[in-house]
């Protein structure tokens, strides 16, 4: 007997829509299957058998996050197929900062009304993010919550688990004075600071449909550009260069995240001229009259991921990243101090 309840449907929850959503998302989930995946969707737990061969002391590294108020732009633009990439990126980019390879991902979608096509579009983005990260989407949950979320709106969160050999974990204690700080470019605003973005747009009465000078697409599309996933280039780098530590530049910008890659007695000095800041940040700063300090304390300012390496390894690092398609740049040096971010 198939599960169905008229009473529950009258209360706002259509279980058959949930089943249709699972059917539509299944093809996207299959794209992410890698060795280690056991079974498919429908069980009470996602199963994964990791290959730990060659590891002396495997350590599991986990990360969890959501997309935040960037979802409001997805609602406004009617675009639901990219925010899943953001969700994956916010988790796996944190994991890679420990030197771990992401293995699998699970998502959680809570919505006011379950529209199977919308859910499938969201999951298609999650699947694309997993493909970019080289990990498997092995499960998730879709919760229809009428009266809690309005119809047409949803929240999206997830978590990922990765693995690294203990002796190869990155550690902020390894950074030393004179080391190079190298930035991997971002694709734009990524998925943090959107409460400020939305306030800037509201206060300046700026339309998402306007294409400003310096942008190659309407502002809404530029802002919705998904968070870049750095897993594959950073893993390639770790195989060839002794990276000391890394920082994912998310909420809190430079001032909060870069110090997390430093020991307590060291700081970094950033060369402003070396930064490649996408035009969208200058536009937001102008529209909102935002001070420089706040811009660097909220946004990634074009540096989505930073790695710290010895000065002697800096050029080799740039070469490896270039081979991986990343136009990385040396943006600063580690200096004496108390975990501060300084600008030259």
Pair 193, 298: CB distance under 8 Å: yes
> Which has more confidence, 26 or 158?
158
Please give the average per-residue pLDDT across 106-127, as a whole number: 96
pLDDT tens digit string along 216-270? Answer: 999 999 999 999 999 999 999 999 999 999 999 999 999 999 999 999 999 999 9
Which of 4-18, 127-141, 178-192 has the weakest average pLDDT?
A: 4-18
pLDDT, position 52: 95
Exposed/middle/buried for 122, CB within 10 Å: 0-12, 13-18, 19+? buried
> Which has more confidence, 9 or 288?
288
In angstroms, the first-to-last Cα distance of the chain is 70
Instruction: Name the band, by pLDDT with cuts 50, 70 and 90, for residue 14.
Output: confident
DSSP conformation class of 256: H
Backbone angles phi, psi at 19, to 5 degrees: -65, -40
Give the closest residue to 59 by CA, choosing from 159, 166, 160, 135: 166
3-state DSSP assignment of residue 122: helix
Mean pLDDT of the chain: 95
| Structure tokens, 5 | 């309840």
Please give the average per-residue pLDDT across 35-50, as a whole number: 88
pLDDT, position 27: 85
The Cα–Cα gap between 332 and 344 comes to: 9
Q: What percent of the chain has pLDDT over 90?
A: 89
Q: Which residues contact 173 (CB under 8 A, 6 or more apart)?
A: 263
Which strand (E) or helix (H) includes residue 154? strand 154-165
The Cα–Cα gap between 208 and 200 comes to: 12
pLDDT tens digit string along 43-74? Answer: 788 999 999 999 999 999 999 999 999 999 99
pLDDT tens digit string along 296-327? Answer: 999 999 999 999 999 999 999 999 999 999 99
Which of 20-34, 80-94, 239-253 has the weakest average pLDDT?
A: 20-34
Partners of 159 in the β-ladder: 64, 106
pLDDT tens digit string along 205-215? Answer: 999 999 999 99
pLDDT, position 25: 76
Pair 13, 3: CB distance under 8 Å: no
Backbone angles phi, psi at 266, to 5 degrees: -130, 155
Domain architecture of the chain: domains with CATH: 6-168 (3.30.1330.10), 172-343 (3.90.650.10)
Pair 252, 295: CB distance under 8 Å: no
pLDDT, position 9: 77
pTM given for the model: 0.95
Pair 230, 91: CB distance under 8 Å: no
CA distances from 159 to 84, 122, 123, 144, 277 (A): 12, 15, 14, 20, 29
Please give the average per-residue pLDDT across 27-41, as a whole number: 89
Q: Is 17 a residue whose pLDDT tops 80?
A: no
């Amino acid at each position: 007997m198939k599960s169905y309840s008229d009473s529950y449907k009258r209360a706002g929850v259509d279980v058959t829509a949930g089943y249709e959503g699972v059917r539509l998302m299944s093809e996207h989930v299959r794209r992410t299957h890698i060795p280690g995946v056991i079974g498919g969707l429908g069980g009470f737990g996602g199963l994964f058998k990791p290959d730990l061969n060659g590891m002396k002391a495997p350590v599991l590294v986990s990360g969890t996050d959501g997309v935040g108020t960037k979802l409001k732009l997805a609602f406004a633009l009617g675009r639901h197929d990219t925010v899943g990439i953001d969700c994956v990126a916010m988790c796996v980019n944190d994991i890679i900062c420990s030197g771990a390879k992401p293995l699998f991902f699970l998502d959680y979608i809570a919505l006011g009304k379950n529209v199977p096509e919308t859910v499938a579009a969201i999951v298609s983005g999650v699947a694309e993010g997993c493909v970019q990260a080289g990990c498997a989407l092995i499960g998730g949950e879709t919760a229809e919550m009428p009266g809690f979320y309005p119809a047409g709106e949803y929240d999206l969160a997830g978590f990922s688990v990765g693995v690294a050999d203990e002796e190869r974990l990155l550690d902020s204690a390894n950074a030393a004075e004179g080391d190079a700080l190298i930035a991997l470019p971002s694709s734009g605003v990524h998925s943090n600071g959107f409460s400020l973005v939305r306030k800037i747009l509201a206060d300046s009465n700026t339309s998402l449909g306007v294409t400003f000078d310096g942008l190659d697409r309407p502002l809404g599309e530029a802002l919705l550009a998904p968070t870049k996933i750095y897993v594959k280039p950073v893993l390639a780098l770790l195989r060839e260069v002794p990276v000391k530590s890394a920082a994912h530049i998310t909420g809190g910008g430079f001032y909060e995240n870069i110090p997390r890659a430093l020991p307590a007695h060291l700081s970094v000095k950033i060369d402003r001229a070396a930064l490649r800041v996408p035009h969208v940040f200058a536009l937001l700063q102008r529209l909102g009259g935002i001070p420089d300090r706040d811009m660097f304390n909220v946004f990634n300012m074009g540096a989505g991921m930073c790695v710290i390496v010895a000065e002697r390894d800096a050029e080799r690092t740039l070469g490896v990243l270039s081979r991986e398609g990343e136009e990385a740049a040396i943006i600063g040096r580690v200096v004496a101090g108390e975990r501060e971010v300084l600008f030259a």
